[in-house]
Amino acid sequence: MDVQREAGVRGGQKPGAARAELGKLLTRWRTECGLSQTRLASKVHSNQPTISRWEKGQLLPSAEAIEAVWHVRSAPERAHRPDNEELQTALLLRRHAEAEPRPPRPQEPSQPEPKAAQQAKKKWVWAAVATVCVAAIAAVVTVWATGDDDPAQAAKPGSTASALVFPTAAATATCAGATCASMEPATTICSKDAVTAFVERKYGATVELRYSPHCRAAWAKMSRTSPGDRILITPKKGNTEEYRQQTGHDAHTPMVPATRPQDAQACAHIQDRGTICATTPVTATAATSPS
């Protein structure tokens, strides 16, 4: 990247200008190919809402996504267009855009919680209350049966009452559909009935699309990966969720709403190797695995 081009990109730009300029450049590449946002999305393993957010500057595409769009743009002229100056300009714009303040995330209209989710929430509350009540009754009966009427005596080490431990109800969050967006699956009831709906293995790594029928939500999981690898879950409607692995050998994204597993796509960008998307359906008998 020469110094003059970098100075030209950086000089005199307002906050958010690099993101907006990158969006205009991606829009021009697509229109020069004569492609719709939907058609381009199918060629780069994305979806139309994500392409629209790239072009509006609302979502910053990864370097791999920019290169994928560039390859689609330059394919018809590759024999007559040996240089990739515009690609380097786009990657430079992305670097500057990363340092800009992120635009506010669009607010999704609130939706009433489905009746099924409300009923499930009531069942969880009643189950927790019942557990505490049963433990309390058992403690009273035990103290009465052993004759430990004196509270001070009952608290002595070795007495029956002092050995009782009251259970603490787990703080498990509930959600359904749109209310699950951006939530961590492991801290919700969604992880309890989750199954692997789609899977793919490549570059020594595994990518799964995890789905909870109860929550009507999905998330992406990758295994046998390394720090710096990225995992994404993209719904047909709504915002893409992404997580860059920090440590260990596996990682997963927050959740996105999905009426069916087919309403979302799970992909991973493996550094220096390529992109994997979970597209192979998993049978119900082999679907269960930890979140």
Specify the higher pLDDT residue, 219 or 10.
219
Residues 132 and 88 in one domain: no
The residue type of 244 is: R
> With 80 as the cut, is the pLDDT of residue 29 above it?
yes
pLDDT category of residue 115 using cuts at 50, 70 and 90: low
Instruction: Give CA–CA dist 204/47, Å, rounded.
Output: 26
Burial class (CB in 10 A: 0-12, 13-18, 19+), 222: buried
Rounded (10°) CA dihedral 37, 43, 47, 48: 0
CA distance to 26, 61, 64, 137, per residue, from 84 (Å): 14, 18, 15, 76
pLDDT digits (tens, 9 = 90+) for 59-71: 999 999 999 999 8
Residues 94 and 156 grouped into a single domain? no
Q: 């103290």: which residue's tokens?
A: 143
Number of domains observed in the structure of the chain: 3
pTM to 2 decimal places: 0.45
Res. 83 pLDDT band, cuts 50 70 90:
low
Neighbours of 181 (CB within 10 A): 17
**Residue in 183, 229, 152, 171 with CA at minimum distance from that of residue 143:** 152
Calculate the CA dihedral of residues 86, 105, 98, 240 and round it to 10 degrees: -70
- The answer to whether residues 224 and 273 belong to one domain is yes
In a domain? residue 172: no
Per-residue model confidence as pLDDT tens digits over 176-217: 999 999 989 988 999 999 999 999 999 999 999 999 999 999
One domain for residues 157 and 248: no
Query: Can you give the pLDDT at residue 48?
Result: 94
Quick check: 122 pLDDT over 50? yes
Task: Find the range with the poorest average confidence among 39-43, 98-102, 124-128.
Answer: 124-128
Q: Given this model, what pLDDT does residue 199 score?
A: 97
DSSP state of 188: B
What CATH code is carried by the domain that includes residue 59? Answer: 1.10.260.40
Say how far apart CA 105 and CA 218 lie, in whole Å. Answer: 20
In a domain, 262, yes or no: yes
Domain that holds residue 152: 115-163
* pLDDT mean over 285-291: 59
pLDDT higher at 51 or 115: 51
Angle formed by the axes of helices 85-98 and 17-33, to 10°?
150
Read off the pLDDT of residues 135-183 as tens digits, 9 standing for 90 and up. 666 655 554 444 444 444 444 444 443 333 334 344 478 899 999 999 8
Q: What is the pLDDT of residue 117?
A: 63
Question: Is residue 190 in some structural domain?
Answer: yes
Q: Same domain, yes or no, for 150 and 126?
A: yes
Q: Among 69, 98, 127, identify where a domain stops.
A: 98
Q: What is the pLDDT of residue 163?
A: 37
